[in-house]
Structure 1
């Protein structure tokens, strides 16, 4: 059932024009807010739907009493969407420069004092090791060549293997762990960018499903197996484009 539903969503996605930034805005009108909310909330439980929606739609929130970093993270998601939407239309490749600029926008003002004092900066590859999952990502001195190799790998695959390549990209990116912080949200954003520039619908990894998501990342760390994560992407894509995101409101549905 999931495969059939996923294939239908892919076909419907390809029937919609993405020839201008306004086309992208139309197709991703609700998606961009839901993606930002869920992607941020996976790492930051203080993220709320209300604050995310207010910043995306109105550019501000009122009566906010939480940590300012949370607001920066939301605003950065909005800024990153604005940065990438023109590139989606142009079908630009995922390059090291695009990766670093995406990270710089998503993490602007969000590095903690400890990382900042160590010389880490948004948009720059890490200069120290940071533990991730069951081990440590690529050594800082190896990050550049690892990212360059990954970018090349995902651009030389046949069209019927794009979802597999997207899954591999995300898993490998998180395994490399190229930045001192913000690898998860950067990887999820770029995975969707890659999918859209190759004619496939983007997906939301829902915060409520993050345990399954983390398990898939852990399986790859231990075995380099990607099929489970690829299945999760199909499931999450069906969920993304067929569920009602809020009571009384429905994401543009292809089902």
Structure 2
């Protein structure tokens, strides 16, 4: 006797997605795939998952620290400037470096101050300025509590892609392949409906903001809606939503890029969201510690 994924989810009081993940990871004894679905023995027991306790503990710490930060609000202009002055340069450097930009952290700082680095291409200069402009725009959207919409996503991308004027703020019209990735981006004709579906699912998702954003970010990058600039735009969208929810923005470091890439593969190959979720959570936790220390 077997039960479906939906029946197992109702029985164990977890999501359908989680049941499919457990099946794919071989954690449900006797479960096997038949066509596009799973056959689960009716006598199968809900697998224990030690990750939940660790995850819940970290998310609880984050929520406690966020509540403490809320007691310090509203922050003064001087406090906000102190919190953001170093972040903007480092964030611009790291997000661009992940995508192949050759400017060093020091050179990124110089370019954002209006100087030119003779030994580096114009493209790298434009990417630095464009990313800074896009983050400034994101901060304005946060002040307005603007919704996560296709219009705002395209506006952010328009600023990010300063070096490719014809491709700014428009969905790609040609197929692409990401070298070494375990996932094929959406065909051009599917981009718009998939983006609409993604935004709808994100809006209806009631999970913790960090869990929601980990899933949204992976799915957004999987759709790969633009010809270029998807990574930088996607990370800006994560910060848009974090800041709207009262959390500090995060800066995924260039040195952590392999962990970041592995998080995408873990999701696409093993349906494992916890790697990206854990990466985001650690960064948010560290940023909260930094904010609270500065504001003491």
1:87 equivalent to 2:128? Answer: no
Conservation of the 8 A alpha-carbon contact between 1:6 and 1:237: yes
1:48: which partner in 2? Answer: 104
**Pick aligned residue for 1:147 from 178, 185, 195:** 195
Task: Provide TM-score, normalisation by structure 1.
Answer: 0.82
Give the 3 Å change call, closer, same or farther, for CA 55–62 of structure 1 in structure 2: closer
Q: 1:252: how far off?
A: 6.9
d(CA) in 1 for partners of 2:143 and 2:75?
6
1:124 equivalent to 2:170? Answer: yes
**Pick aligned residue for 2:128 from 68, 74, 79:** 74
d(CA) in 2 for partners of 1:104 and 1:21?
28
**Pick aligned residue for 2:94 from 23, 29, 38:** 38
Conservation of the 8 A alpha-carbon contact between 2:186 and 2:222: yes
d(CA) in 1 for partners of 2:157 and 2:87?
20
Give the 3 Å change call, closer, same or farther, for CA 45–81 of structure 1 in structure 2: closer
Q: Which moved more, 1:60-69 or 1:87-96?
A: 60-69
Pairwise CA RMSD of aligned residues?
2.8
Task: Name structure 1 gaps, 5 residues minimum.
Answer: 112-119, 244-249
1:229 equivalent to 2:285? Answer: no
2:186: which partner in 1? Answer: 138
Give the 3 Å change call, closer, same or farther, for CA 45–70 of structure 1 in structure 2: closer
Give the 3 Å change call, closer, same or farther, for CA 44–20 of structure 1 in structure 2: farther
Partner of 1:126, secondary structure, is coil
d(CA) in 1 for partners of 2:212 and 2:67?
19
d(CA) in 1 for partners of 2:213 and 2:227?
22
Task: Provide TM-score, normalisation by structure 2.
Answer: 0.71
Q: How does 1:210-221 map to 2 (within 5 A)?
A: 210-221=257-268
Give the 3 Å change call, closer, same or farther, for CA 200–140 of structure 1 in structure 2: same
d(CA) in 1 for partners of 2:136 and 2:236?
12
Task: Name structure 2 gaps, 5 residues minimum.
Answer: 1-53
Give the 3 Å change call, closer, same or farther, for CA 16–74 of structure 1 in structure 2: farther
Give the 3 Å change call, closer, same or farther, for CA 78–139 of structure 1 in structure 2: same
